[in-house]
Amino acid sequence: MDTQQQQSSIQGAKVLMVGAGGIGCELLKTLALSGFQDIHIIDMDTIEVSNLNRQFLFRRSHVGQSKAKVARDAVLRFRPHINIRSYHANVKNPEFDVDFFKQFDVVLNGLDNLDARRHVNRLCLAADVPLVESGTTGFLGQVTVHVKGKTECYECQTKPAPKTYPVCTITSTPTKFVHCIVWAKDLLFAKLFGDKNQDNDLNVRANNAASSSKETEDVFERAEDEDIDQYGRKIYDHVFGYNIEAALSNEETWKNRRRPRPIYSKEVLPECMSQQNGSTQNCSATDDDSTVSAMPLLGLKNPQELWGLTQNSLVFIEALKLFFAKRKKVGEIGHLTFDKDDQLAVEFVTAAANIRAESFGIPLHSLFEAKGIAGNIVHAVATTNAIVAGLIVIEAIKVLKKDADKYRMTYCLEHPSRKMLLMPVEPFEPNPACYVCSKTPLVLEINTRKSKLRDLVDKIVTAKLGMNLPLVMHGASLLYEVGDDLDAIMVANYNANLEKSLSELPSPVINGSILTVEDLQQELSCKINVKHREEFDEEKEPEGMVLSGWTQSPATNGESASTSNNENEKAVDVTESSSGPEMASKKRRLSETQPENDKKETENVESDDDELMEIENPVMVSKKKKRVE
C-alpha cells in the first residue's frame, strides 16, 4: 500500500478509544496529528489534580470535569475539522454493546483495570473488531495486537493474581511497611470513617484495658458529648496500645519473632493538643474536601520528609479531628472509602501506618512513599505514556492495512537489552485452552451439597469470569438470570435458587454436571464441568472451590487473603534469535520459521524488590524480569 492509499485508509477509519487518562491523552493527540478523522472516546473518570503532571491536555481549571470531554475539546483546538465524539460513561454500560463496537474499524485501549480490559476484549471478539491493548508502569510499557482468529486474545494468557497478604499477617504479625499500610487503609480507616458495623480484629481489647471501659464497649463509637481530643486518644490507645498488649499475651506467636512495643498517647503527645496546635476551626483548607490537610496546622510542608513518632502521632490526631469537623457535617462519616487523591485520607493512613511500623520495628516511610504504596501505584512517567501511544498508532495503522505479517507486541524496557529499549515480539496465535476465544470447557471442583448457587455466581461467574449480566443453565433448565426485562415472579424464583445448595436446585447440579454460563452483553458463553469434592484446605483454598482452566494464576507465594487491588501481567522473558528479539515461550508464533538451534539460552536475573505495584495504566509487568544473558 503506497503512502496515498495508507493516508486514505487512515482518514476513512472510524476509531474507538477506551480511556482518556495518561495513555489516552497522548493517544488522542497522536491520532489527530497522524491524520485520523473520526475518533470516539469513552471514559467515566473526571480530572483530578494529581493527573495534571502527565495528562497534558488538562489544566487546573478542568479539575472535576469529564476527562473524555475536556480531551476532545483540547484536541479540537488544533485540529478543528476532525470529528471527535466523547462519552462520559462506563464502557460496561448497556449502550456500549456488540452492535456499538461493530461500527468501528479498530479499538484502542488505554484502561487502568483488568475487569474493563476483559470486558472490551470480549466485545471486540463478539464484534470481530481488532483490539490494540496497552499499558505502562513507570518506565515499563507494552502494546499488543489482538485480532480474532489470528492472534491470541487478551485473556489467552495468565494474568497473575493481585499481590495478596494473609489476614493474620496484616492484623497480628506485620513484617513490611506495606502490611502496615494495608492495616491502616483497609481496617482502621474503614472502621473509623466507613461502616462501623463491619467486623474486624480492631475490636480486640486487652485484658488490662482501662478500668473505665467495659469489655462490651464499642471503642469506635463516639458519644455525642465526647471531646474530640479525648476520642482521638482513646482510638490511639486502643489500636496502638491495648491491641498490641493483647497480641503479646500469646507467647507462642513471638517465640521466633520480634516482639512489638505497645505505644500509648501519653508517651508521645502533649497533654493539651488544641492549645499547642490551634483549633481545627481555623484550618485554612478550602471548601474542597479533597484538599483539607492536617500538615499546615503542624508546620509540616515537605511530603518527602520522614516524620518521627511524635509527628506521626500529631498528624494522626489532627487528621482524625479534621475528618469529624469537616466530613461529619456533610454526612460522609460512616460512608467513606480510602481515596489516594484525598489528601487528609493519605495523611491519616500514613501516620497510622508509621505508628504501627514503629511498634513492630519496621522502618518508617514519608508521606510521598506511603501514598504510592497506599494507592498501589508506581509513579507515572509521561515519556513512557507518549512512547506507548505512538506504538499504538503504528499498530493501528498496520491493522487498517491488514498487514498481519508485520503485527508486533512491543515492550518498553527500563534498561537496554542488546542496546534496545523497545523490544518487538511477534504475536502468538490463539491459545486453544482459552475459554474466552477457544470455548474450552472449565472444570470446577466444589462441594455440591454445601455450596449454594450464590457462591458459584459471586465467586466464580462474576469475580473470576468477569461476567456482568450472567445467565446460568443446567441442560435446558435456567437456574439464574440477570436482566431488566424479568418479571417479579422470575426474579423471586432466581433469588430463591441463589440460596439453595447446588444439589437442591430444581435441576440438581451434582458430580459430572455440565453448566452453561453466558453473558448476553458480552456475547460470551462457556461450559463448566462440575466435579464434587468434599473437603478444601481453608488456608490454601479459602473460597471452598477451585476453578481450573481459568486464565488467572494462583496468588503469589500461596497467600490467599486479598487485601490489595493491584494487578500484574507476565514478566518480560526474552530470547535472541537470528531474526531479532523474540519472547521466550512454549507458545507457537504466527510464523514459525525460526530453527530451534538458533535460539540462545537465557538466564533469569531477579531484582532485589519483587513487589508488584500498579499505576494508572498498568501492564502489571513484574520488577522481576528475565533478561538476555
SS3 letters across 534-553 = CCCCCCCCCCCEEEECCCCC
In sequence order, which residues have a C-beta less than 8 Å from that of residue 522 and are 6 or more positions away?
98, 119, 122, 123, 126, 467, 468
pLDDT at 438: 84
Show the beta-strand stretches assigned E in 370-436: 409-417, 420-425
Q: Is 217 exposed, middle or buried (0-12, 13-18, 19+ CB in 10 A)?
A: middle
List of residues 6+ apart from 399 with CB closer than 8 A: 105, 106, 130, 132, 145, 147, 407
For the segment 29-73, what is each residue's pLDDT rounded down to a tens digit? 999 999 999 999 999 888 877 788 889 999 989 988 999 999 999
C-alpha cell at 405: 505479517
Separation of alpha carbons 369 and 349, rounded Å: 12
Helix (H, G, I), strand (E, B) or coil at 258: coil
Paired strand residues for 360: none
Q: How far is CA 458 from CA 78, 155, 199, in A?
A: 48, 20, 21
Burial of 512 (0-12, 13-18, 19+ CB in 10 A): exposed
CB 342 within 8 A of CB 299: no
Task: Show the cell assigned to 24.
Answer: 489516552
Q: Determine the Cα–Cα distance for residues 542 and 556; give it in Å rounded to an integer.
A: 15
Q: State in Å, rounded, how far the first CA of the chain is from the last one.
A: 39
| Burial (CB count within 10 angstroms: exposed 0-12, middle 13-18, buried 19+), residue 461 | buried
**SS3 (DSSP) at 108:** strand
pLDDT of residue 166: 64
Q: Grid coordinates 488456608 are at which residue?
A: 539
3-class secondary structure, 86: strand
- Distance between CA 609 and CA 8 in Å, rounded? 48
Q: Out of 153, 168, 272, 283, which one is annotated catalytic? A: 168
Query: What's the pLDDT at 566?
Result: 35
Consecutive 10-residue averages of pLDDT for the chain (629 residues): 76 95 95 96 86 90 92 96 95 92 96 88 95 92 94 84 67 88 90 72 49 54 84 93 87 82 91 50 48 85 92 94 77 78 91 95 92 75 94 95 92 90 92 87 93 93 89 93 87 93 94 92 91 88 85 36 34 30 41 38 30 34 33
Q: Is 168 a catalytic residue?
A: yes
Residue 60 to residue 51: CA distance in whole angstroms: 10
Longest dimension (CA), the chain: 86
Separate counts of helices (H) and strands (E) for the chain: 18, 18
Q: Is 208 helix (H, G, I), strand (E, B) or coil?
A: coil
Question: Helix, strand, or coil here: 527?
Answer: strand
In degrees and rounded to multiples of 5, residue 2 shows phi and psi of -75, 175
Distance, CA of 296 to CA of 294 (rounded, Å): 6
Integer Rg of the chain from CA: 27
Phi, psi angles (nearest 5°) of residue 329: -60, -35
